[in-house]
Amino acid sequence: MRSWSRAERARAGGVRIGFVPTMGFLHEGHLRLVDRARELADRVVMSIFVNPLQFGPREDFAAYPRDLDRDRKLAAERGVDCLFFPSADAMYPTEPLVRVDPGPMADTLEGAARPGHFAGVLTVVAKLLHIVEPDVAVFGRKDFQQVMLVQRMVGDLDFACEIEIAPTVRELDGLALSSRNVYLKGDDRRVALALSRALRAVEQAWRGGEADPRALERRGMEVLQVPGMTPEYFKLVDAQMRPVTRVDAKTIALVAARVGAAGTRLIDNVVLGEGIANDVPVRVAVKD
């Protein structure tokens, strides 16, 4: 992989390489990251790697959806120049003893719900950035805490790579695209809409003048009280993931909940000042 990047750079001076890391089972959210990478760079590398290090022992690593043939086609059609899909053995020939410590920004929210998750994420992102050597890497705002941590790692540890954040891609009714949406069966999809509905309700309450963060969090939790949904958190934080005492346009509302009998865990968020209206709506066939 690294030879490819270096050869591209040697072949044509000044070529910029863009990088889109994913776990595959591609959807339009991933492909918009490719579009953005193409705007920012001359070559686009995509990785597909379901990273065992970021899954907890009771999580869905084995069940995580995979379809490499379909992904290959979608990536090529969208203009990915190089698809990197290493095996777990290639990435981790021995268990990595040295890992990235994500620090206090990982103590809360997803980090609290999924112990070790962000150490696994940052370790694999660090490896991928060293292997691909991109000029710019594009991440989705959908995984807000993740991209804030990646940005912080790149800054704190002096990685020679820019981090670009792309807006969340949603279906027309508000559901954020996610590879895990395939787990939603029957009524689950309708139940899952409470996540974006809660974010929208809180955004509207804030625009309407409600400035008390705890009152806004309670409002979000209220909207999540629907049969078939088990809310995990609804929190207002700043870009360092600290609870806010004053709400402003940069405040982020983050939500996590489990949906349906299978307990599919979904997350979503909105930056209050930008609003869900500024996310990217797409029409996607809804499958049961």
Q: Are strands 229-237 and 280-282 parallel, antiparallel or unpaired?
A: unpaired
Mark the segment that binds ligand AMP (CB under 6 A) among 174-182, 186-194, 223-231, 252-260: 174-182
Min dist CB 218 to ligand AMP, Å, is: 27
Site residues (CB under 6 A) for ligand AMP, limited to 29-88 = 29-30, 33
Assess whether 130 carries a catalytic annotation: no
* DSSP-derived secondary structure letter, 175: P
Q: Are 145 and 256 in contact (CB under 8 A)?
A: no
Min dist CB 167 to ligand AMP, Å, is: 7
- CA–CA dist 172, 175 (Å, integer): 7
Our CB check for ligand AMP shows the closer of 176 and 184 to be 176
Q: Are strands 82-84 and 43-48 parallel, antiparallel or unpaired?
A: parallel
What residues form DSSP beta bridges with 48? 22
Which of 259, 199, 254 has its CA nearest to residue 231? 259
Which of 14, 71, 16 has its CA nearest to residue 48? 71
Report if residue 177 touches ligand AMP, rule: CB under 6 A: yes
Our CB check for ligand AMP shows the closer of 176 and 236 to be 176
* DSSP-derived secondary structure letter, 51: -
The helix/strand/coil state of 208 is coil
Site residues (CB under 6 A) for ligand AMP, limited to 135-154 = 139-140, 142-143
Mark the segment that binds ligand AMP (CB under 6 A) among 105-113, 161-169, 225-233, 253-261: 161-169
Indicate the burial class of 156 (C-beta count within 10 angstroms; 0-12, 13-18, 19 or more).
exposed
Mark the segment that binds ligand AMP (CB under 6 A) among 6-14, 71-79, 134-142, 189-197: 134-142
Indicate the residue type of 162: E
Our CB check for ligand AMP shows the closer of 124 and 247 to be 124
Min dist CB 160 to ligand AMP, Å, is: 20
Our CB check for ligand AMP shows the closer of 21 and 213 to be 21
What would the x/- binding string for ligand AMP be over residues 255 to 274, using CB under 6 A? --------------------
- Within 10 A of 261 (CB to CB), how many other CB atoms are there? 10
Residue ranges that bind ligand AMP, judged by CB under 6 A:
22-23, 29-30, 33, 139-140, 142-143, 166, 168-169, 176-179
Q: Which residues are catalytic?
A: 30
